[in-house]
Amino acid sequence: MPTYEFRVHEMALGNGTHSYECEDMIRTTRFALPNGGNGAYVGKYPEIETYLQTTYGVSVSLVFQSGRDILNEKTREILFNRGGIIVIVNEMGRPSLRLDLH
């Protein structure tokens, strides 16, 4: 059963702003994750879907489905089970508000 694992990281953009990026734990490469898991995309990872298609030729939908997928709230790990393909996303705590005092 093919398994793909990703880890979400915060990245500073400068001037007190930030975004997120995703690391492919197999290839240790990173790519931008401006939407996935954030805001209206909570539980959805379109950038990982595109990355899996272009990098590995794997076409899967990564939209969390209760009862099918597993969310470990303690570790923030999401396990997507897609017909013999496992995709694990290691999420991070994302702040809803951040204040930078200078």
Token pair belonging to 6 = 């990703």
Q: Using 50, 70 and 90 to split pLDDT, how confident is the model at 99?
A: low
DSSP 8-state class, residue 96: S
Q: Provide the mean pLDDT of the chain.
A: 85
In contact, 95 and 20? CB cutoff 8 Å: no
pLDDT in tens, 56-81: 999 999 999 888 899 898 888 999 99
Mean pLDDT of 19-32: 91
Mean pLDDT of 50-55: 96
CA 90 to chain centre: 7
The residue that leads in pLDDT, 39 or 42, is 42
Residue 52: closest CA among 68, 38, 79, 31: 31
